[in-house]
Structure 1
Amino acid sequence: MSRTICVSVAVVMLAAVSQVNAQGTYPQAASGAYNPAPNNVDWQSYVAPRATPYQGGYRVASGTPTPVPQGYTPAANPNTASYLQAPAGYHGGVPSSGGCESYSSYEPCCPAPSCDPCPTPCTRCWYASLGALFLTREPQDNYTFSYDSANEDDQYVDAANADMDFAPGVEATVGWYDCCTNVGFELTYWQLFPGDESTQMLGADLAPGFLDGIRNYDQLDYNGGTADANVNAAQIHRLTRGWEVYNVEANRVIVFRQNGCASPWQFQSLAGFRYFKFKETLGFVSDPTETIIDGDLDEYRINIDTDNQLFGFQLGGISERAIGQRWTIRLIGKAGLYNNHITMNYFEGGAAGAAVINNGPNAGQAMIVNASTNDLAFLGEFGAGVTCRVGNCWRLGADYRMIGVTGIALPTDQIYFDTRGINDVRIIDNDASLLLHGAFVRVERSF
């Protein structure tokens, strides 16, 4: 009996010693804390795996981490990031006030390049835009071809009345941007669809006067007589003007941001090559016998076309400012000096052939001129507009722009009032200017 009691006491004492030893290895958790799991993980030294960025948010590094117990906070470590931690102001590419991504034109590929100079994994972003434009031309000065024989002050068939109205066109841009260097390159093309406008006057509307031509056509021979017989006392005078406009730009882009993430301003410098083409045609026709223009031998014509092709380099910039979370206003400025390669073709006559000068030092010469020259021209462009972000990858934009060109040749400037002065016609007059202005609308996509 006494032996049984001794064995029982020994077992109790051994259990008590084991309990003390266990408390020394695994301290009692505070109230509400998590008791360690049987896998013997030392939770006091546990640090969450480092998070890595990805498009649209942050994800945990590769590998399967041990789950974090409920209510447990890992030890602080400046070299690690907790789950779902992201840089200040970053919201997975979704615009928000105060974040760099709100002001970037190259989102989502470059959400915050001024905060993280080399974002991972993407450092080069491609973007493209497609749009439409509607341009008109500032009206040219009056230039008339006809008058009422009863009163010479009444002049008609004015080139200003056949000027270009708002004409449609297309624009496309493609480019790339490096988020590490803030340097990019873009190629832009736009054009107006070719068009024309006409104005005319009928001789029957002038009775008792006649519809005569202003120039001295009696010094030209055409179709067996002098050309004034085909132009004066005419049944109809008609003037038609046509145009073509093309533009190509290849620019190096550098982006400058102000005050890091805090500023809503963004500046882009542009430097590159530009090609601009403006071609205009003018056709005047007179018919002394009918009002239908059908190419008869008695129809007398003046056909002139001038083709201005500008090649050169330009400098410029685009300034953007974010207004709220989605809207941006911007200003555009570009300017450059160009070589203008001008070609000019001039013809007077009709289906019976070219008219011929009948007196003076140029007698016997046909009224046909084909000439070309190169001269200096200036082109400047200014615009203002807005953009609206409609998603991480899309923006809508609209600008109103003005394109001014000096040092170009226009058809009306090639007409010499003394019809015998063909030597003067051969010298291209390129002292004119051109002002186009109108709206550009587009949709932008980044990749």
Structure 2
Amino acid sequence: MIRSRLTGLRTWGAFVLALAGGSIATAQTAQNMWPYPQTAQHSTPQQYGQYQQTAPPVQPQTGPYTVTTPPAQQPYPQAQAYTQGQTAAAYTQPQATQPVQQQPSYHVAQYQLPNYQAPAPGQRYAMKDEAQEQPESVPPPAPTAEAHSAPVQHGGGYPTTGDQPAGDCNCNQVSTGSWEGYVQAPAASYAGCNGTSCYPDCDYGGFGGASCHAGGLGGKLGADCGCPRQWFFGVYGLFMTRDNPSYHKFAASVDGTPAAYPYYPTQDTIILSTDDIEPDWQWGAEVRFGSTFGRPRNCDPCGGCCGQRPCAWEVVYWGLAEDSQMALATDILGDTDRMYGLINYAGLNYDLDGSGGGTYADRPLNDYIDYGSPVQDPTTTADDVRLLAVRVRSNFSAQNLELNFIRFPVAGCGGGCNPCCPSPLSVNALCGVRYLKMDEDLLYDAFTTPGGDPGGGWVPDAGMPSSYPGGFPDTMPNSIFHDINVDNEMVGVQFGGNINYQVGCKVTLFCDSNMGIYGNRISSFQRVWAGGAGEVSWVNSGNPVAVRSDKTDVSFLGEMRAGVGYQVSCNCRLTAAYRVIGITGVALAGEQIPTDWSSPEYVGIIDSNDSIVLHGLQTGVEWKY
């Protein structure tokens, strides 16, 4: 009886111990079922794929009952800490005798070693009888011997290294890993971009041009989403001219003896006028440079991180070389023709020898230039004077300096950046300041000789030249000079816009225009003088004739430039355009010739009611970087 009770107690004890062992195994398995490895469990570094062996608890078997011990669950290895320069250990086959069920792998959140995936947590095994079927064994992944010297970090962003495929005609970098090209129409490989041939807007605009990303100045999109500034630079050659100045007559030639005196020369007798000194085409140069600025706007519909800086500044300088024109008319003594001057110098005297009362005392200057409006009968004039030569010269030059600010774009593509198919038309706004200086000269020279007709033909006085010696030497009192210099210096604010229309992958039509109101500071200087000892003076005062005056007026300026651009590369463009600049409220040299010389105050009045048009070709090359 006692033995039977002992046997029963032993049986119950074994059963309790078996239940306790199952609880321990269950707790251990629950710990291993946490979905991510617990780094706190690592005490010493382990090789990849090495299992920690834990011996199962051994229970003594007594009595008639058979206790099945659940299989021990081995903890799966944790990702080994990896340091710089350490070589990854080889994966080894586990030595555990228990079968291991393959679990789904996962990627390490921060550090990932190629060709290795950390195993997922194990699954709990249920307690079975010895006769129950064991689970099928799945072999572990094959080991690899590849070694790595540094970890690969995934920081969230596009990689900026590696070979990139060739871009398309729009300079798009066809890549799924980075976007660093000059982009306008996105490449078809980007998400959201179809593969159709959308209307190309290839980011090919000029300075002040427009595009979806940087208004024709380009939009370099850095892979780090920094949207760096876009710098641009252009060099151009100019070939321009100006419209003809107002018409003025300078000399006439009358053949023979008029039917009656006084005689007014008709238009067919005019031999020298402003038509003979019409402005010619002149060369010039232009330089532009600037940069984008402002907070970038996200205008990238196909996967980029930023689009463009919305504004740009540019500095513009252009200048036209001085255009010089000259016309000369001469007369020969002894023929039937006689040349007459047509500028009225009433109010001025001339003393040819400067003696103040000698042989050639002060006489009206009109006598020395043989003023012919009207022509008087020379036979009734004592101490006659003949005009042997008249020369007219003109000089013109222009210099321009601007500081402009451009806003990208205000119409067209800027309305929303339609994904993959941006509008081919874009409009930018412009405002700025301009300084424009125009320098014009008009020079009238006469060469004269006194003499008379004693009945055998006209002959000069003794010691006086009988023909034009050439060059209007300023050492001879026979040379008389009238110089007019006028400067217009305009400063003002201008407003305008730039229109770009993409007609092909590399061809752009553009039209730039601006207008403004300017303050015009006008300065004028007139001087009438003679060579040698000759003296020209005011009739009323006897002072030398030199008048300097200035005036401030209001001018209006409008400019338009229309042309075509051809994109040679992503950074270089060739342009050809025609430019027209119209200016009102300016003073021109020919308009400053007074109708009379009664006083310096009258001569000093500046006529600024004229206008001028500059026009011509502009060709050049532009860079952006």
Shorter-chain TM-score range? 0.7 to 0.9
Partner of 2:289: 174
Report if aligned partners of 2:200, 2:505 keep a CA contact under 8 Å in 1.
no
Deviations 1:69-111 (A, max 9, x none): xxxxxxxxxxxxx95376995349xxx96565445558xxx99
Q: Higher relative contact order by CA 8 Å / sep ≥ 6: 1 or 2?
A: 1
Mapping 1:12-411, distance limit 5 Å: 21=99, 24-25=102-103, 39-40=116-117, 52=158, 83-84=176-177, 89-91=185-187, 98=199, 101-103=202-204, 112=213, 120-150=225-255, 152-153=265-266, 154-178=269-293, 180=296, 181-204=309-332, 207-217=335-345, 219-222=347-350, 223=352, 224-226=361-363, 227-232=365-370, 233-256=386-409, 257-261=414-418, 262-288=422-448, 289=465, 290-292=468-470, 293-295=472-474, 296-351=476-531, 352=533, 355-358=536-539, 362=540, 364-411=542-589
Shift of 1:216: 4.0
Give the 3 Å change call, closer, same or farther, for CA 111–19 of structure 1 in structure 2.
farther
Report if aligned partners of 1:388, 1:397 keep a CA contact under 8 Å in 2.
yes
C-alpha distance in 1 between matches for 2:588 and 2:572 = 41
Shift of 1:298: 1.2
Deviations 1:54-78 (A, max 9, x none): 599979xxxxxxxxxxxxxxxxxxx
Report if aligned partners of 1:104, 1:111 keep a CA contact under 8 Å in 2.
no
C-alpha distance in 2 between matches for 1:55 and 1:427 = 72
C-alpha distance in 2 between matches for 1:430 and 1:88 = 48
| Long gaps (5+) in structure 1 | 1-17, 28-36, 60-81
Shift of 1:426: 1.1
C-alpha distance in 2 between matches for 1:406 and 1:308 = 11
| Long gaps (5+) in structure 2 | 1-95, 106-113, 121-152, 166-174, 189-196, 259-264, 297-308, 353-360, 371-385, 449-464
Bigger share in strand? 1
Partner secondary structure for residue 161 of structure 1: helix
C-alpha distance in 2 between matches for 1:88 and 1:397 = 19
C-alpha distance in 1 between matches for 2:161 and 2:333 = 73
Shift of 1:195: 2.5
C-alpha distance in 2 between matches for 1:208 and 1:103 = 68
Shift of 1:379: 0.8
Report if aligned partners of 1:48, 1:83 keep a CA contact under 8 Å in 2.
no
Task: Read off the aligned partner of 2:186 and give its amino acid letter.
Answer: Y
Partner of 1:5: none
C-alpha distance in 1 between matches for 2:185 and 2:341 = 73
C-alpha distance in 2 between matches for 1:206 and 1:131 = 55
Report if aligned partners of 2:283, 2:320 keep a CA contact under 8 Å in 1.
yes
C-alpha distance in 2 between matches for 1:347 and 1:26 = 102
Partner secondary structure for residue 324 of structure 1: coil
Partner of 1:428: 606
Give the 3 Å change call, closer, same or farther, for CA 57–203 of structure 1 in structure 2.
farther
Task: Read off the aligned partner of 1:84 and give its amino acid letter.
Answer: G
C-alpha distance in 1 between matches for 2:159 and 2:613 = 50
Give aligned-pair identity as a percent.
24
**What is the alpha-carbon root mean square deviation over aligned residues?**
3.6
Shift of 1:209: 2.5
Task: Read off the aligned partner of 1:357 and give its amino acid letter.
Answer: W
Report if aligned partners of 2:240, 2:615 keep a CA contact under 8 Å in 1.
yes
Partner secondary structure for residue 332 of structure 2: helix
Give the 3 Å change call, closer, same or farther, for CA 206–330 of structure 1 in structure 2.
farther
Shift of 1:323: 1.2
Count, aligned residues: 388
TM-score, normalised relative to structure 2: 0.56
Shift of 1:229: 4.2
Partner secondary structure for residue 439 of structure 1: strand
Report if aligned partners of 1:281, 1:411 keep a CA contact under 8 Å in 2.
yes
Partner secondary structure for residue 594 of structure 2: coil
Report if aligned partners of 1:217, 1:231 keep a CA contact under 8 Å in 2.
no
Partner secondary structure for residue 412 of structure 1: helix
